[in-house]
Chain A
Amino acid sequence: MTYVLLASSSGWVDAPVVFTVMLVCLVLASVRAWRAVSGAAHSRWMTIVLNSSLVGLLVLYIVLVILRFKTLA
């Protein structure tokens, strides 16, 4: 309940924030797919950064969506 109230008051579950996180995840997933399909050699560190960012933002997105459901329900 405390997390819900905090999320609600901080604005983190507002539509623009959730939409932005979703959009960034989509862009990262698209870049990842393009790099894999294009078949060219890619930097290992870039791959690690990309994968970590995507996973981290996906987790953040899922948390925000759940909190949004709890806030507005």
Chain B
Amino acid sequence: MLELSPLTAQPKTFPSSRQRSGVGLGTSLGLAGLVLWMVTVLQANFLRMGPYGLVSVLGWTYFVGLFLVVVGFAAELLRTPLKSNRLIFLIIVLVVFLYGTGPAIEPVATLSDSWLIAGFVQYVVQHGHLLNSFDARFSWPGGLTLSAVLVAFAGQANAYGFLRWFPLVIELAYLAPLLVIARVSGVSKRAGWLGVALYYATNWIFQDYFSPQALNFLFFLVVIAAVLACWQPIRANIQPPLRHVWRERIAQIRSIATLSRFEGHDATSEWSSGAILSVLALVVLICLASSMSHQLTPFAILLALGACLITRRLGRPELVVAVVLLSTGWLSLGASNFWAGHLNLIFGSAGQLGSTVASNVTSRVTGSSSHLIIVELRILVTAALLFLGGVGFLRRFTDSRLLEVLAAAPFLLVLAQTYGGEAFLRVVFYALPFIALLAASAILPSHHGSIRGLVPRRRIGRFGRTALRVAVVIVVLGFSIATTVARGGNDAYDSFSRGELAAVTYAYAHAHRGETIGSVDYFLPIEYQRINTVGILSVDDGGSTVHHDESLLLKARPSFIILSTSQEAWGELVAGYPRGWEAAVEQVLVTHGYNITAYWTTATVLTRSALPAKVRKTSSVT
């Protein structure tokens, strides 16, 4: 056996002391943050929620834990080499903080709409068919029927078990396509990771509740990720002298409107023909599913694919044609039972930007001072992210302005319709991943690409790496805290107690076919069962007074009326009703022929029926 002498043996290479001290630091901080998160959840008392929503029940352990996670992320982001597994772990912990805290603390699922969707699914599970003409969402039934299949597959009788943790699960599902988009979008590697973290840190929009919208956003991300992974831009070989930079920019803009661009000849792929055809087929299938399950997402996908085509990231324009056919086809054929006779519901506000802005933005900036702070914080987070995105646009080098066009494209949807006053929310939701990547480029811009940045490149200097770490911590932590406040800011009336759920369940259990359950407003876990046999009446019509709501309730005289702490919080925080207004309403209802037949600490059921007067049902459930 040949033995090497000590003088000729290759010396072992040990990591430097700096690298050794960094090994495992990020992961350790992430684990410590996770432990503090668990302490936060165990100590939080949901019943003490105040006007600022979820943040009012979070202790210092939450913020310290979040700080540790973000510091760990910054440390891992700027180490060499990058350790993908650690970054993924830290992003997952960040997601748990931002999207898992609410479900962990709040005893039942938030948002009335998620309970309503569960009611739709319950109907399909029970009857095996849709309830056409009941609600617009039944005309786009793909998500509902898929959920019904999953409910049956899981051996459940209804979808209630999926509601509470659905936001966390679906946000974790978004991680894979987001990572792919970050990797292939043309930003630097580190900017890609930072962009994914910024997406999660700024997503206060709360469109990830149990709904077809959340599922379709996953479709949207997967389609974009597949297309961007498949095709790359053919790089231009022009390097003009500096004085011709603006002429070159104008020539680049003019090259968008060429037949070669629309034919997809300016994009290339290294994949085999079979792989490309398979991707095209799968993407068309996903778009087919999306067109049958959501009103808006197919058109968002269409705009995004158009953006990819004109920025040289889509090599086959037939994909755009297919999405046009599928989205308009379902709208004109499958959904015709919805819009036939009232087409203005879909196209009535087309082109009316002023009214769209009013219904989406202006009308929401109302309410108590605490509510106004939450609303203005949301606007501030979005504006700050857009500002950073603008800086990223100026600083980064790239081979194509894909991210900029993808970020801008969804805003065309606003011109089409108000979408029930939520068009801006959805538009920001679709644009958010791309704006986040641009914002990351403001801090960690790429320095490679045929399209040069618009501001001079700066060297980072001796303490540059430390400064970058500090900048990452400040930006990610600042956005994360703001999103915690903004996202959970409505939870005083959007989240529900077990008592409120018990009150609604009691009303449904005692309601006969054709009877109605009434409330002042819609903030209840309601309509999750018997949607076709028991009516729901919510009397508030916006901008009214307590007396007006009382008179509407007495005029309608539903069989049951539910009063709850969520509705009371909404009245005080948003509608401007006086403190304790529900007690006055209860008194008026009692003097006009209603009896209190059941109550919990957080809810009361009044009934007009022939039940004995003042039968009180107490329960330890609050």
Contact = CB atoms under 8 A, between A and B. Distances in A.
Interface stretch (B40-48, B314-322, B478-486, B535-543): B314-322
B325 A69 contact: no
A69 B347 CA distance: 11
B263 to A, nearest CB: 9
A43 interface: no
Contact of B329 (A18, A29, A39, A54): A18
B336 A72 contact: yes
Contact of B273 (A19, A39, A58): A39
A33 B340 CA distance: 35
B276 interface: yes
B333 A37 contact: no
B4 interface: no
Contacts of A62: 328
A37 B329 contact: no
B322 A29 contact: yes
Contact of A15 (B273, B325, B333): B333
B325 A37 contact: no
A19 B333 contact: yes
A68 B334 CA distance: 12
B229 interface: no
A34 interface: yes
Per DSSP, are chain B's interface residues mostly helix, strand or loop, or mixed?
A: helix
A68 B336 CA distance: 9
A61 B273 contact: no
Contacts of A58: 321
Nearest to B280: A33
Given A25-B325, A73-B343, A34 B277 contact: yes
A56 to B, nearest CB: 13
Contact of B322 (A15, A26, A69): A26
Given A37-B276, A37-B316, A72-B340, A65 B332 contact: yes
A1 to B, nearest CB: 15
B316 A36 contact: yes
Interface string B431-446: 0000000000000000
A2 interface: no
A44 to B, nearest CB: 15
Contacts of A38: 273, 277
A45 B318 CA distance: 19
Nearest to B279: A37
Contacts of A32: 318
A26 B321 CA distance: 8
A30 to B, nearest CB: 7
Contacts of B81: none
A72 B341 CA distance: 6
A22 interface: yes
Interface string A23-61: 001100110111011110000000000000010001001
A38 B278 CA distance: 12
B247 to A, nearest CB: 33
B495 to A, nearest CB: 40
Nearest to A33: B318
Nearest to A67: B332
Contacts of B280: 33, 37
B339 interface: yes
A65 B328 contact: yes
A73 B333 contact: no
Contacts of A22: 325, 329
Counting from the closest, the 9 A-B pairs by CB-CB distance are: A73-B343, A33-B318, A29-B318, A72-B340, A22-B329, A65-B332, A29-B321, A37-B273, A37-B276
Given A15-B336, A39-B273, 12 more contacts: A18-B333, A26-B325, A32-B318, A37-B280, A38-B273, A65-B332, A68-B336, A69-B343, A72-B336, A72-B341, A73-B339, A73-B340
Interface of B: 273, 276-277, 280, 316, 318-319, 321-322, 325-326, 328-329, 332-333, 336, 339-343
Interface of A: 15, 18-19, 22, 25-26, 29-30, 32-34, 36-39, 54, 58, 61-62, 65, 68-69, 72-73
